Structure formats: structure tokens, C-alpha cells
């Protein structure tokens, strides 16, 4: 497989089909390549096969036919014992979060590190830092049941990114929160993309794709087509980052956010893996949830 300098194909689907049991194929002839560090949305009506496609990408199911290559490795032929190492390079934000109910936010986020056998001190500092970065510094010891939907979502996202995955897959990550929180989370994904993470976000919300000017993987009736980034049409729809009720009716930038481009100079949020001193956690007091 070819590799450009610092780039390359991180996910490749060739003629992939999926059927469950003896039912009809829910995905047919899926072909696409995702470049390392790219940002894609995954859209399509309910039941079109978005979840199945994501499951293929996070190695929860195997295709009935075709070839899937991730990290230059044919995952359809990979041995079972080699899959955990691949899965650790893939962060997943599940639609329903899937936090472990008896563990605290800290423990939930620490899970991927614990599984990878990291040392206790490393885990603790690292996790606390990341939770602070997503604005949950004061909620580290809270159980999921005592967290609001938005807080749970951020714990789920923190768990997905704590292990510095190469690929981040998110299923409706803004489906359970209000618009403002959704935009804030979107901002987080764009920031992660800037540090080189390949991102795929499944969403019903076509507005999201317009806010982040990213190409769209569109599934309809089991078939996938790749749409170019949508042209921006309303500046008011662009991401309104920041605190409180601040809106941006007269934006400094007319075009929507480009992945890999700096978002908002006033509210620059450092990625979680930069030195701790540089990060400025979002103000959790403005959390609308």
C-alpha cells in the first residue's frame, strides 16, 4: 500500500458487503479510502446502514464479503489475538455513551489505559488533566447516573480519546445534547483532527457538516456515496464557540470552520496532550446542560 510522506490511507473499504444471518445485505459494494488525518461526516436516514458501517470500522463485526484494511492491515483476515492492539488505536464515542455505571468518571476515562496496562500514577494525572480539559474537573468522582447527558457525553468522548487513538469514530455525538453543547463538542473533534486524528462522525444533523466544512460519506439503502464538503450558506450557522450567550452575527471569518484550521482565536482550547500548563479548560460554569 502506498504511503505519502506523513500521510496515507488509514481506512480502506473494497467491495464490502454486510448481511446479518440470512437477511438482505444491509451494506452493499462499499468502496472508499480515508486518508490519515482526514475529517468525514457519515450521514444517511435511519436504518440505512450507518451503524453497521461504524461497527465495521471499530471491529465489532466482520464483513460478509469484501476487504477492509486499517493501518495497512487486512482486518478481515487478522487473527483474533491481533485485534485488541488494533482496537486500541481506534477511539469510539458510542451513541448511548456506554459508560460503566458503577465506575466514576475518572475510572471510566481511565479504562483504556488500564486495559493497556499503564501505570497508576500516569493514569491518574493523565485522566484528571483530560477531564479538566473537557470541563469536568469537579466531576471526576461522580458516577454516570449523577451526570447530566452532556457531562456523560464528554466523559464518553474523553474515554475515546485518552489513549490517543489514530482514528476517532463518533456515533451521533451531538444527538443527546442541545445545540450549544453540540457545537462545543464539535469544536473538540476539530481540535483533535488538528493534531492528526482521523475523524468520522455519524450524524443525522446535516447542519453539522456545514459548520465543519468536511466531506460526507452518505449512505442510502446500503449504498455509499462520497459527497464533497457542502458549500456554506448561512454565516449564522457557523460554530458559535465561546461562553455564555455570545453570538457571532458579524463574524470575523465568513467561511465555516475548516478542519485543520484554527477555530477561534479568542477561545483557543489546547489539545489534551499538549503540556498541562498550556491548556485552558472550558469554563464548566457556562455548561448549559
Partner 1 sequence: MDLLRRPIVYLSDHPSGRLLPWVIAVMAYLAALGLAGVVTLDQSVSRWRSALSHTVTVQIVTGEESARETERDAVLKLLNNTDGIESALPMTKSEVKTLLEPWLGQGNVIDDLPIPLLIDVKLGAGSAVDLDGLAKKIGDVAPDAVLDDHGSWLQRFINLAENVKLIAAGIVTLVGLATVAIVIFATRAGMAIHHDTIEILHLIGAKDSFIASQFQRHFLRLGLKGGLIGVAIAVLSLLGLSRLSFGLEDAFIPRLAFSVTLLVVLAVLPLLASLLTMFTARQTVTSALSRMV
Give the residues lining the site for partner 1 (CB under 8 A): 58-62, 80-81, 83-88, 92, 98, 100, 102-104, 106-107, 110-112, 114-116, 120, 123-124, 141, 159, 163
Give the shortest CB-94-to-partner 1 separation in angstroms.
8
Give the shortest CB-173-to-partner 1 separation in angstroms.
16
Closest CA to 41 of 241, 189, 153, 151: 189
Query: Treating both helix axes as pointing N-terminal to C-terminal, what angle do 105-115 and 120-133 enclose, rounded to 10 degrees?
Result: 130
Give the shortest CB-110-to-partner 1 separation in angstroms.
6
Instruction: Convert 104-139 to b/e letters by CB count within 10 Å (16 or more is b).
Output: bbbbbbbbbbeeeebeeeebeebbbbbbbbbbbeeb
Give the single-character DSSP code of 275: -
Give the shortest CB-67-to-partner 1 separation in angstroms.
16
The smaller minimum CB distance to partner 1, of residues 123 and 208, is found at 123
Query: Sheet of 65-70: strands edge to edge?
Result: 25-35, 9-19, 65-70, 73-74
Give the shortest CB-223-to-partner 1 separation in angstroms.
24
The smaller minimum CB distance to partner 1, of residues 99 and 209, is found at 99
Strand 73-74 to strand 90-93: parallel, antiparallel, or no bridges (unpaired)? unpaired
Beta bridge partners of 171: 202
The smaller minimum CB distance to partner 1, of residues 48 and 92, is found at 92
Task: Give, in order, the Cα–Cα distances in Å from 160 to each of 20, 64, 113, 163, 187.
Answer: 27, 27, 11, 7, 16
The smaller minimum CB distance to partner 1, of residues 56 and 214, is found at 56
The smaller minimum CB distance to partner 1, of residues 36 and 104, is found at 104
Give the shortest CB-51-to-partner 1 separation in angstroms.
13
The smaller minimum CB distance to partner 1, of residues 82 and 178, is found at 82
Amino acid at each position: 500500500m502506498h504511503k505519502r510522506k506523513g500521510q496515507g490511507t488509514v481506512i480502506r473499504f473494497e467491495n464490502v458487503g454486510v448481511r446479518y444471518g440470512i437477511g438482505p445485505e444491509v451494506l452493499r459494494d462499499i468502496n472508499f479510502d480515508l486518508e490519515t488525518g482526514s475529517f468525514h461526516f457519515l450521514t444517511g436516514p435511519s436504518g440505512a446502514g450507518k451503524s453497521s458501517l461504524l461497527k465495521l470500522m471499530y471491529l465489532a463485526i466482520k464483513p460478509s464479503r469484501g476487504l477492509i484494511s486499517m493501518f495497512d492491515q487486512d482486518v478481515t483476515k487478522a487473527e483474533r489475538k491481533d485485534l485488541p492492539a488494533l482496537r486500541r488505536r481506534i477511539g469510539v464515542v458510542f451513541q448511548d455513551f456506554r459508560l460503566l455505571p458503577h465506575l466514576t468518571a475518572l475510572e471510566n476515562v481511565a479504562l483504556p489505559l488500564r486495559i493497556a496496562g499503564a501505570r497508576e500514577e500516569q493514569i491518574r494525572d493523565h485522566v484528571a488533566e483530560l477531564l479538566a480539559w473537557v470541563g469536568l474537573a469537579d466531576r471526576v468522582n461522580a458516577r454516570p447516573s449523577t451526570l447530566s447527558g452532556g457531562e456523560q457525553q464528554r466523559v464518553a468522548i474523553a474515554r475515546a480519546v485518552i489513549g490517543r487513538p489514530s482514528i476517532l469514530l463518533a456515533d451521533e455525538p451531538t444527538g443527546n445534547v442541545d445545540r450549544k453543547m453540540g457545537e462545543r463538542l464539535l469544536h473538540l473533534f476539530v481540535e483533535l483532527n488538528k493534531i492528526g486524528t482521523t475523524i468520522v462522525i455519524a450524524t443525522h444533523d446535516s447542519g453539522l457538516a456545514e459548520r465543519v466544512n468536511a466531506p460526507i460519506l452518505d449512505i442510502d439503502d446500503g449504498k455509499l456515496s462520497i459527497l464533497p464538503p457542502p458549500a456554506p450558506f448561512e454565516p449564522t450557522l457557523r460554530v458559535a464557540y465561546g461562553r455564555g450567550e455570545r453570538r457571532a452575527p458579524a463574524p470575523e471569518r465568513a467561511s465555516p470552520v475548516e478542519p485543520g484550521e484554527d477555530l477561534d482565536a479568542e477561545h483557543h482550547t489546547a489539545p489534551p496532550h499538549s503540556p498541562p500548563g498550556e491548556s485552558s479548560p472550558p469554563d464548566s460554569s457556562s455548561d448549559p446542560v
